[in-house]
């Protein structure tokens, strides 16, 4: 009997991939991830705890599900992801209509937990163990058993979980645990399977992919991330390769050279800097200086001059002065990022900075964020205008404003007119004739 599943994913790409894995695991139990909340037999909220706002959004949605549960008592509600890991069984106290709480290493247990509850063994379950020696299950085996035609030409492939860097503001080490790398063979098998399912573009995913290798299973001890990138790029059918996210401190010359040597490695790099002031970087426990960051950017551009750079920035970290913030703006001016994700600092549970005394006033944080974002928007438009008249390779993703929409190697959204028979995953050349803040437009040439 088919059961219907609704999954709501909050936060990062790691969560998106985990949600896809949960849907695939549960499809073996007869669940189809095709329902709206009102028709679902099972609702999963896959949560994010990186900022207070993400957690608030989750709890308000969860609260609204109380009525649905009263209307349909057979409905099962599961909470997964980083807030589940962080709060565990306290979620039952706050939201008694929840049936299952699974942490970031335990969501693999969902099918077994559901079977137990369906057999009447208990009313609800919590599984939030976080083990140092956790091994990411060979998920690709499941893909093998259940080949599905991929709806998207692009797929994320998780290569590791957790992080050992303990940046002072970050929840990841406490919600996703210590760094654990997947065996190389599992990653390459999964990529080959996805390519057989029609995927053309692979994004290797991890909290800090640059340190892949340091926690590899004994078998792959010597494999660095640059090695893994080269092996993945060499697999037949991988037309495009990307990766995210990187910590600048572990960025090696060997890895940067991949942008020169691997033709299918896309010329876009997301390199979070977080702040431009050395004093703030030190208090954030980011183990690099602005000078080192700028040197790495210069070295990267020496290997791939046209590379598009994006970053993450936190404004208003405790103790941040106006001079410190000016350093962040001047770093933005120096690098001229194509884009960035910028946020106001917020205290997070189990982080060191939550206990820091010299918090920045909320009003000041908002004002600094507004100044940073408006300058970034100006620079993004100027960088996008550099594409005018240029011919760029675009991977078709689907319909868009001008007919078709796709993504350039530099990770820009490109709208263009083209034949209806062009399918997602097709690579076409487009000459850019319009540059906007967040996207480009052009004419297809071939
Ligand atoms: S490197 Fe990234 S994921 Fe790891 S602790 Fe720092 S901010 Fe968090």
427 Cα to the center of ligand 1, angstroms = 34
What mean pLDDT value characterizes the chain?
A: 93
What does the pLDDT read at residue 253?
97
Question: Residue 36, preceding bond cis, omega within 30 degrees?
Answer: no
Q: What is the pLDDT of residue 275?
A: 98
- pLDDT surpasses 90 at 224: yes
Read off the pLDDT of residues 123-134 as tens digits, 9 standing for 90 and up: 899 999 998 888
Q: The pTM is what? A: 0.94
* Residue 359, pLDDT score: 97
Q: Hey, whose CA ends up nearest to atom 2 of ligand 1? A: 207
The pick from 12, 13, 161, 167 for probing ligand 1's pocket by mutation, whose C-beta has the most ligand atoms within 8 angstroms, reads 167
Separation of CA 212 and ligand 1 centre (Å):
14
Q: What is the pLDDT of residues 179-215, one digit of tens each?
A: 999 999 999 999 999 999 899 999 999 999 999 987 6
Atom of ligand 1 lying closest to residue 245 CA = 2
Question: How many A from CA of 381 to the centre of ligand 1?
Answer: 29
Residue 171 Cα: closest atom of ligand 1: 8
The pLDDT, as a whole number, for residue 206 is: 95
Say yes or no to pLDDT of 34 above 90.
Answer: no
By most ligand atoms within 8 Å of CB, the mutation choice from 48, 51, 207, 274 for ligand 1 is 207
Centre of ligand 1 to C-alpha 353, Å, is 13
Instruction: Give me the mean pLDDT over the 374-386 stretch.
Output: 98
Q: What pLDDT was estimated at residue 148?
A: 54
% pLDDT > 70, the chain: 96
Q: What is the pLDDT of residues 40-93, one digit of tens each?
A: 999 999 999 998 889 999 999 999 999 999 999 999 999 999 999 999 999 999
The H or E element that residue 396 is part of is strand 391-400
In this structure, how many other beta carbons lie within 10 angstroms of the beta carbon of residue 148? 10
| Distance (Å) from CA 166 to ligand 1 centroid | 6
Pocket test residue of 171, 172, 249 for ligand 1, highest count of atoms within 8 A of CB? 172
CA–CA separation, 418 and 399 (whole Å): 10
Around Cβ 145, how many Cβ atoms within 10 Å?
A: 8
Kindly list the structural domains of the chain, giving each domain's residue range(s) and its CATH number in brackets, ordered by start: 3-127 (3.40.50.12160), 135-266 (3.30.750.210), 270-386 (3.30.750.200), 391-444 (2.40.50.140)
Pocket test for ligand 1, best of 170, 212, 248, 273 (most atoms within 8 A of CB): 170
Question: What is residue 311's predicted lDDT score, i.e. its pLDDT?
Answer: 98
222 confidence band (pLDDT: 50, 70, 90) = confident
Residues ≥6 apart with Cβ < 8 Å to 151 = none
* Cβ atoms within 10 Å of 420's Cβ, excluding its own: 8
Calpha distance 119→134 (Å, rounded): 28
pLDDT for 149 equals 52
Least confident of 148-162, 282-296, 309-323: 148-162
CB 292 within 8 A of CB 332: no
| Residue-level pLDDT at 420 | 84
Residues in contact with ligand 1 (CB, 6 Å cut-off): 163, 165-167, 170, 172-173, 207-208, 247
Q: How far apart are CA 172 and CA 445, in angstroms?
A: 45
């Amino acid at each position: 009997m088919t059961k219907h599943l609704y999954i709501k994913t909050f936060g990062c790409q790691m969560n998106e991939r985990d949600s896809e894995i949960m849907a695939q695991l549960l499809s073996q139990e007869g669940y189809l991830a095709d329902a709206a909340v009102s028709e679902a037999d099972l609702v999963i909220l896959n949560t994010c705890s990186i900022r207070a706002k993400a957690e608030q959004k989750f709890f308000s949605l969860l609260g609204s599900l109380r009525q649905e549960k009263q209307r349909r008592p057979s409905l099962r509600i599961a909470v997964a992801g980083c807030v589940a890991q962080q709060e565990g069984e306290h979620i039952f106290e706050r939201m008694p209509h929840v049936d299952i709480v699974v942490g970031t290493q335990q969501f693999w247990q969902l099918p077994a937990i559901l079977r137990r509850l369906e057999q009447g063994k208990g009313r609800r379950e919590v599984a939030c163990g976080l083990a140092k020696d956790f091994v990411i299950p060979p998920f690709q085996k499941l893909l093998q058993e259940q080949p599905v035609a991929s709806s998207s030409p692009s797929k994320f492939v998780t290569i590791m979980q957790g992080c050992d860097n303990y940046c002072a503001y970050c929840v990841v080490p406490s919600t996703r645990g210590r760094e654990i790398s997947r065996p190389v063979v599992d990653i390459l098998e999964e990529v080959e399977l996805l390519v057989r399912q029609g995927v053309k573009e692979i994004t290797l995913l991890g909290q800090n992919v640059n340190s892949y290798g340091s926690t590899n299973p004994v078998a792959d001890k010597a494999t660095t991330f640059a090695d893994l990138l080269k092996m993945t790029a060499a697999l037949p059918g991988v037309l495009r390769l990307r990766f995210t996210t990187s910590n600048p401190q572990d960025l090696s010359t060997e890895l940067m050279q991949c942008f020169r040597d691997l033709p299918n490695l896309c010329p876009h790099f997301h390199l979070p800097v977080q702040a431009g002031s050395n004093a703030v970087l030190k208090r954030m426990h980011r183990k690099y200086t602005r000078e080192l960051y700028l040197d790495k950017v210069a070295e990267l551009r020496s290997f791939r001059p046209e590379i598009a750079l994006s970053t993450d920035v936190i404004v208003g970290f405790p103790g941040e002065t106006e001079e410190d913030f000016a350093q962040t703006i001047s770093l933005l001016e120096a690098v001229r990022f194509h884009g960035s994700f910028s946020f106001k600092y917020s205290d997070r549970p189990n982080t060191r900075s939550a206990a820091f005394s010299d918090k920045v006033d909320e009003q000041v944080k908002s004002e600094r964020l507004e100044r940073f974002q408006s300058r970034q928007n100006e620079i993004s438009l100027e960088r996008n205008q550099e594409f005018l008249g240029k011919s760029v390779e675009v991977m078709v993703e689907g319909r868009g404003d001008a007919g078709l929409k796709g993504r350039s190697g530099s990770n820009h959204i490109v709208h263009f007119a083209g034949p209806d028979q062009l399918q997602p995953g097709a690579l076409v050349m487009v000459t850019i004739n319009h540059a906007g803040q967040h996207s480009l437009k052009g004419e297809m040439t071939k």
